[in-house]
Amino acid sequence: MTARKENSTYTLNEKFITDCDLTYAANKIGGRWKIVILDKLGDRKLRFSELKKEFPYISERMLTLQLRALEQDELVKRTVYAEVPPRVEYELTPIALEFLPIFCQLSAWGKKNKALKKSGS
Amino acid sequence: MTARKENSTYTLNEKFITDCDLTYAANKIGGRWKIVILDKLGDRKLRFSELKKEFPYISERMLTLQLRALEQDELVKRTVYAEVPPRVEYELTPIALEFLPIFCQLSAWGKKNKALKKSGS
DNA sequence: GTCATTACTTACAAATTTGTTTGTACCATA
DNA sequence: TATGGTACAAACAAATTTGTAAGTAATGAC
């Protein structure tokens, strides 16, 4: 994404990680924001400003960066309307839709295990 | 994990992210290594050195760090045998086992979409 | 007595990710 | 003429993650 990296261990590991189907997929939705963004867009298409409201403290920069990356990976589709105050809508692509059931299961795991933590400790 | 952070946006966002069931779960397996480690341990318990061999370029430090974090989150169980050259075995806990079907689906997504990329572009 | 083995630890450094601040273009409205 | 709303971009800075290199403890083999 930025300046190219050499043949460091960092890069070799990265290659290893993206060669594997599992981590290839995981990387597409890795980081702090991508999963939640995709999940929100799973309900309906949203404008930039609507997304921003969903995450009270996200910086505009972060939101743009994540959306750009998701667009690049063809997980979201970006539509610009040539209107006076600009309007841009984001929605999931078909391949991103396939993540939604996985998110459901992850979410169920999270819910269950957060509950265990509370009663357990 | 290190020195405590203040009430920065970074932290507020972190809180937001770990409050959500979905991202709470995602964070448990986030980063470069956790998912693959868990996946490998899904087949059978492994020693430290065996795990290391699975990932040709991982540093021992990284492997220990990840294993410690997974142990902390009760996703792996660590067993030390008081033998002469030390022996330590790692295995999944019941709650980690529940991730395995999710990994399968992720992996399937990865496989499918890597194939699409090749034929598409 | 020296070396090898295993599973680490420590101090350090590089790379990446995330956040802050300021600014832009467009037109409408006051 | 000044201000406001939308969806960003650019330069900079902080925080976290990942990697490097060297060292440790115990013990048995040579």
Express each pLDDT in B10-37 by its tens digit: 999 999 999 999 999 999 999 999 999 9
User: Closest protein residue to C9 using CA and C1' atoms?
Assistant: B61
* Domain covering A9-120 in this structure, CATH number: 1.10.10.10
Mutate to test the interface with B, among A33, A106, A114 (most CBs of B within 10 A): A106
Residue in A26, A31, A105 closest to B35 by CB? A26
Give the separation between CA B106 and CA B34, rounded to whole angstroms: 14
Residue type, B5: K
Give pLDDT, residue B94: 97
Give the separation between CA A106 and CA A111, rounded to whole angstroms: 9
Give pLDDT, residue A117: 82
- Average pLDDT across chain A, whole number: 92
DSSP string, A20-55: SHHHHHHHHT-SSSHHHHHHHHHHS-EEHHHHHHHS
> Which H helix or E strand runs over B92?
strand B87-92
* Domain covering B34-120 in this structure, CATH number: 1.10.10.10
Residues A110, B21: C-beta atoms closer than 8 Å: yes
**B118: confidence class by pLDDT, cuts 50, 70, 90:** confident
Give pLDDT, residue A85: 86
Q: Tell me the residues of A at the B interface, defined by beta carbons under 8 Å apart.
A: 9, 12-14, 16-17, 20-26, 29-32, 35-36, 39, 55-59, 95, 98-99, 101-103, 105-111, 113-114, 116
Q: What is the mean pLDDT of residues A47-54?
A: 95
Give pLDDT, residue B3: 44
The phi and psi torsions of A46 (rounded to 5 degrees) equal: -135, 150
| Digit-coded pLDDT (tens) for B48-104 | 999 999 999 999 999 999 999 999 999 999 999 988 789 999 999 999 999 999 999
Q: Residue with structure tokens 């750009």? A: A68
Give pLDDT, residue A121: 57
Residue of A nearest to B105 (CA): A102
> Which H helix or E strand runs over B101?
helix B100-120
Encoded tokens for B3: 């020195």
Among A2-11, B9-18, B107-116, the minimum mean pLDDT is found in A2-11
Strand ranges for chain A from DSSP E: 46-47, 76-81, 87-92
